[in-house]
Chains A and B, each alone.
Chain A
Amino acid sequence: MNTSYAQLAHALQPEIILADGAVLVIAFDLIFGRHRPLATRLAASLALGALTLVAAFIASVFVGPIGGFYGESFVLDSFALATRGGVIVLALLTLGVAAGAKVMRNPAEYVALILFATTGFTLMAAANHLLIAFASLELASLSLYLLAGFDKDRRESAEAGLKYFLLGALATAFLLFGFSLIYGMTGELALPRIAAVLAQCGMSPLPALALVMVMVAFGFKAAAAPFHLWAPDAYEGAPTPSAALIASASKLAGFTLFTRLLWPGLGALAGDSSHALNPGGWITIVVLLAGASLLIGNLAALAQTNLRRLLAYSAIAHAGVMMLGVVTASLAGPGPLFYYLFTYGIATAGAFGVIAVLERNGGCQKITDLAGLSRRSPLLAGTLAIFILSLAGIPPLAGFFGKFTFFALMLRIGGIASPTGALTLLAIALSAVSLYYYLVVLKQALVEPFASEKPTRIHVPAATALTLLAATALIIGLGLCPSLLLTFF
Chain B
Amino acid sequence: MNLLPCTIYLSFAGAVLALVAGMKSSAAARAVALLTAVSSWGIALYAAFGFTPSSEFLTLVNVPWIPQFGINYHLASDGISLTLLVLTGLAATCGVLFSWNIEERTGEFFAFYLALIGGVYGVFLSADAFVFFVFYEIAIVPKYFLIANWGSTNRQYGAMKLALYSFAGSALVLAGLLWIYSTGYASSFGLDQLAQGAATLSQGAQITVFALLFTGFAVLAGMFPFHTWAPTGHVAAPTGASMLLAGVVMKLGAYGCLRVAMPLLPAGLDFWQPVIAGLAITGILYAGLVALVQDDFKFVIGYSSVSHMGFVLLGLAAANPSAVAGAVLQMFSHGVIAGLLFAVVGRMVYERTHTRQLDELKKLPLHRLLPFAAVVFVIAGLASMGMPGFSGFPAELTILIGVWNYSAILGVLAALGVFIAAAFTLRVIQVSFFGQSGSRAVAQSSDAAHNHPLPPITWPEKTGAFLLLAATLLIGLKPDLLLDWIVPSLQSPLMKVIFHGGAR
Contacts and interface: CB of A to CB of B under 8 A. Distances in A.
A435 B167 contact: yes
B156 A431 contact: no
A475 to B, nearest CB: 14
A411 B182 contact: yes
Interface string A419-463: 000001100110110011001001100110000000000000000
A435 B68 contact: no
A483 B148 contact: no
A412 interface: yes
Interface string B145-158: 10011000000100
A408 interface: yes
Given A401-B66, A436-B164, A428 B175 contact: yes
B163 to A, nearest CB: 6
Contacts of B171: 428-429, 431-432
14 contacts: A332-B68, A401-B66, A408-B69, A408-B178, A428-B178, A429-B175, A435-B163, A435-B164, A435-B167, A436-B164, A439-B144, A446-B149, A483-B68, A487-B68
Contacts of A442: 145
A394 interface: yes
Contacts of A412: 182-183, 185
B164 A335 contact: no
A332 B67 CA distance: 13
A262 interface: no
A424 B175 CA distance: 9
Contacts of A439: 144, 160, 163-164
A431 B168 CA distance: 9
A254 interface: no
A447 B145 contact: yes
Interface in B322-380: none
B404 interface: no
A428 B173 CA distance: 10
Contacts of A415: 182-183
A389 B141 contact: yes
A447 B205 CA distance: 43
Task: Say what secondary structure dominates the interface of chain A.
Answer: helix
Contacts of B108: 374
A482 to B, nearest CB: 5
Contacts, number: 84
Given A394-B137, A395-B137, A447-B156, A407 B145 contact: no
A233 B112 CA distance: 37
B364 to A, nearest CB: 32
Interface string A389-415: 100001110001100110111111001
Nearest to A410: B182
Given A396-B134, A432-B168, A425 B175 contact: yes
B156 A395 contact: no
Contact of A408 (B156, B164, B167, B182): B182
A389 B170 CA distance: 15
Contacts of B160: 436, 439, 443
A415 B183 CA distance: 6
A30 interface: no
Given A394-B141, A416-B183, A483-B66, 14 more contacts: A394-B137, A395-B134, A396-B134, A400-B134, A407-B174, A410-B182, A424-B178, A428-B171, A428-B174, A435-B163, A436-B160, A439-B160, A446-B145, A447-B156
Interface in A297-349: 332, 335
A395 B133 contact: yes
Contacts of B163: 435, 439
A486 B144 contact: no
Contacts of A447: 145, 148-149, 156
User: What are the 5 A-B residue pairs with the smallest beta carbon separation, nearest first?
Assistant: A411-B182, A432-B171, A412-B182, A395-B134, A435-B167
B138 interface: yes
**How many B residues touch the partner, as a band?**
20 to 34
B179 interface: yes
B181 interface: yes
A425 B145 CA distance: 28
A295 to B, nearest CB: 16
Contacts of A374: 108
A341 B133 CA distance: 23
Interface of A: 332, 335, 374, 389, 394-396, 400-401, 404-405, 407-412, 415-416, 424-425, 428-429, 431-432, 435-436, 439, 442-443, 446-447, 482-483, 486-487
A221 B108 CA distance: 41
B135 to A, nearest CB: 8
Contacts of B68: 332, 335, 482-483, 486-487
A408 B181 contact: yes
Nearest to B64: A483
Contacts of B185: 412
B183 A482 contact: no
A383 to B, nearest CB: 14
Interface string B75-118: 00000000000000000000000000000000010000000000
Nearest to A429: B171
B148 to A, nearest CB: 5
A394 B175 CA distance: 15
A230 to B, nearest CB: 30
A410 B178 CA distance: 10
A372 to B, nearest CB: 12
A400 B178 contact: no
B128 to A, nearest CB: 13
Interface string B256-300: 000000000000000000000000000000000000000000000
Contacts of B183: 411-412, 415-416
A239 B254 CA distance: 50
Contacts of A401: 66
Contacts of B66: 401, 482-483, 486
A332 B68 CA distance: 9
A404 B181 CA distance: 12
A442 B159 CA distance: 13
Contacts of A409: 182
A84 to B, nearest CB: 22
Contacts of B148: 443, 447
Contacts of A483: 65-68
B149 A405 contact: no
B229 to A, nearest CB: 14
A432 B179 contact: no
A438 B83 CA distance: 36
A264 to B, nearest CB: 21
A396 B164 CA distance: 19
Contacts of A429: 171, 175
Contact of A411 (B65, B144, B164, B179): B179
Contacts of B164: 432, 435-436, 439
Contacts of B149: 446-447
Nearest to A487: B68
A405 B181 CA distance: 11
Nearest to B181: A408
Contacts of B182: 408-412, 415
A411 B178 contact: yes
A421 to B, nearest CB: 8
A408 to B, nearest CB: 5
A396 B8 CA distance: 14
A401 B182 CA distance: 16
A42 B216 CA distance: 52
B331 to A, nearest CB: 24
Contacts of A416: 179, 183, 205
A482 B69 CA distance: 10
A481 to B, nearest CB: 8
A3 B170 CA distance: 55
Given A408-B182, A429-B171, A400 B69 contact: no
Nearest to B137: A395
A400 B133 CA distance: 11
Nearest to B150: A447
